[in-house]
Structure 1
């Protein structure tokens, strides 16, 4: 571990238990310093606060991994173009962040910690600005028309939209979505199909609790509506060089990127077996199982195992999908893709670690409105 990484992680432990207060203070200082920045953010700031902290923690945790660190920050810089972030805004953000850390660390804050965060933030800002600059030939976001919308269960919808301009992405990636019903409020959703000639994109969305965007996408959006899409992000993509068989573990609408990966493989796969484990609370939430089964009937290399955790009458596997994967092992030489809620992904990663699956063979995404 480098000295910079050690100082960043050590100092973060001083404020970690006060994350919400630190984030509130940070935004207050930033908006006080530059009131015009407030217009870039949504009215509801609760989720935005947690996103800031998630970005900081990820950056801190990956500072010793230059490739991952750089890719993450450059994609973050590209993504922030949708907020109309300018290079001069980074100084305001850095000053507010350092002041917030200084205040909440209190007497334990040192000159060494201060310098480490100045150096670390400089790297963060430079890589984010480089990512934004490299993406300058693309629009900051894409306008897309909703073509199709279908409720598949009590709180899940599948919709198709088409961007007005070409949006290039890879199967397994995600984009952030904004609707007219909640301006400036963006949420990340995986694209549920591989790139198509007509440019259309599928999304699988669950309305979660008080999720402002997810509720609008499930219950209010209809064909003809316009939505906005941010730049594609995410590393849960196929490695074309790998010849290993594939295991996909999906929880609920985490099926979306898995569906895209399967579609990608229907175009080129000749040698790799693909095993899909699809889990949900009950059969109603296995909203796309019929389509998966049709694909499995058509492609001999594809197998599907469905499971419910709270539906004892379901004619399939019962229990958490993370546990069921272990029953079907061993998986000594497979590439893994895991997608779902944060809790489901954590449980699956624990299972795979216990099965001694090398972390380098596991790709995953966990996000949502919850």
Structure 2
């Protein structure tokens, strides 16, 4: 399987185009499950194939990955019959692009692997159906601009949306049907079942542009099931280090709110919050966190600005964390741009912090890149904040 993927990987773009072309021609009923613009979806196909091959020697982690993928596909409307159609077209596509490297042995290996993966996805989706909806309808009940292309969007769901502070949510908007983007609630669960998201418009981001500039109170969104394991662990006596870059402050803010709502969770521990951005204008939410620290003696807040000279706050977030002297007595939670998270993680590892005490969301497409095994580390990017 690895040999065949190595052969077709240089042809990834053409392979994906061909796969979806024959899938939609043979099974036109599945076209409605996919977004109009297929560019991102084609990349996801290769990611999934590479992840399956990466985990093929670890049945436990392969099953975990496929189960997560199966549960996630419920929100797209995938049903059992679709898996056979996808498998048929996928294997034919791999055979075409692998050429002479596609031996009977490799074909049999892929047939077995796809059969196991699809069966695991189907069973996980069926089990999930008995536990919760595939999606939650969410009405916008609050919308305000925070400046610097940032908006605070509050939604109410019915039924109530079950999640834990620190998790993230996939969201679909009416302006880009079947295009899902991930955002983290900026609040701990509330009794009124509302969730607040902080959304920054990014260049070329059609979903973020709509949520910041087009969305209005009364508009309806759809939310997929909660994901992510960046939730507060059981009290351990260790101090907490929270680091947030940009809108990565949202889930960190939710964790702080959970602690403030349940101070017994601290048990004498201190919380050190580091908020980072490239410029002072991008350093949103700092004033609110500073006010919170004045009300709660257990919270200390420090800012870091990497691309502007601001006395007392100059430096990249990973460098400021390194200078703080955090050691093995710390439990760390990191959220923000992938490069920042990767760099901060390396700083903490070098300081002696065990990997099990460093928590963060996946660095890429969450379902495809969620960590399963320390032996399969995430790709790290040199993109510091």
State whether TM-score is above 0.5.
yes
- Match status 1:153 vs 2:108: no
Alignment-derived partner of residue 161 in structure 2 = 167
Q: Deviation at 1:333? A: 2.8
Alignment-derived partner of residue 37 in structure 2 = 44
- Please give the alpha-carbon distance, in whole angstroms, between the structure 1 residues aligned to 2:26 and 2:162: 37
- Check the 8 A contact 1:75/1:233 in 2, yes or no: no
- Check the 8 A contact 2:201/2:208 in 1, yes or no: yes
Alignment-derived partner of residue 88 in structure 1 = 81
Alignment-derived partner of residue 291 in structure 1 = 288
- Check the 8 A contact 1:187/1:368 in 2, yes or no: no
Q: Deviation at 1:148? A: 1.2
Alignment-derived partner of residue 273 in structure 1 = 270
Alignment-derived partner of residue 28 in structure 1 = 21
TM-score (norm: length of structure 2): 0.86
- Match status 1:56 vs 2:53: no
Q: Deviation at 1:241? A: 5.3
Q: Deviation at 1:135? A: 1.9
- Check the 8 A contact 1:309/1:318 in 2, yes or no: yes
- Check the 8 A contact 2:276/2:317 in 1, yes or no: yes
Change in CA separation of 1:65 and 1:364 when aligned onto 2, cut-off 3 Å: farther
| 3-state SS in 1 of match to 2:147 | coil
- Please give the alpha-carbon distance, in whole angstroms, between the structure 1 residues aligned to 2:346 and 2:14: 31
Task: Answer with 71-80 or 204-213: which moved more.
Answer: 71-80
Q: Name stretches of at least 5 consecutive residues in structure 1 with no aligned partner.
A: 1-6
Change in CA separation of 1:107 and 1:310 when aligned onto 2, cut-off 3 Å: same
Change in CA separation of 1:129 and 1:58 when aligned onto 2, cut-off 3 Å: same
Alignment-derived partner of residue 250 in structure 2 = 256
- Check the 8 A contact 1:74/1:131 in 2, yes or no: yes
Report 1:117-266 matches (<5 A).
117-137=110-130, 138-240=132-234, 242-266=236-260
- Please give the alpha-carbon distance, in whole angstroms, between the structure 1 residues aligned to 2:26 and 2:319: 50
| 3-state SS in 1 of match to 2:137 | strand
Q: Name stretches of at least 5 consecutive residues in structure 2 with no aligned partner.
A: 367-385
- Check the 8 A contact 2:273/2:301 in 1, yes or no: yes
| 3-state SS in 2 of match to 1:12 | helix
- Check the 8 A contact 1:340/1:367 in 2, yes or no: no
| 3-state SS in 2 of match to 1:42 | coil
Q: Deviation at 1:68? A: 4.9
Which of 319, 323, 348 is matched with 1:323 structurally? 319
- Please give the alpha-carbon distance, in whole angstroms, between the structure 2 residues aligned to 1:72 and 1:173: 18
Report 1:1-16 matches (<5 A).
7-8=1-2, 10-16=3-9
Change in CA separation of 1:200 and 1:105 when aligned onto 2, cut-off 3 Å: same
Cα RMSD over matched residues? 2.3
Which of 347, 352, 373 is matched with 1:351 structurally? 347
Q: Deviation at 1:178? A: 1.2
- Please give the alpha-carbon distance, in whole angstroms, between the structure 1 residues aligned to 2:308 and 2:34: 41
- Check the 8 A contact 2:245/2:335 in 1, yes or no: yes
Q: Provide, for residues 230-271 of structure 1, a one-character-per-residue CA deviation record: whole Å limited to 9, x for no partner.
A: 111112122225443222222111111111122222233232
Task: Answer with 36-45 or 49-58: which moved more.
Answer: 49-58
- Please give the alpha-carbon distance, in whole angstroms, between the structure 1 residues aligned to 2:258 and 2:14: 44
State the number of aligned residues.
Answer: 361
- Please give the alpha-carbon distance, in whole angstroms, between the structure 2 residues aligned to 1:57 and 1:303: 42
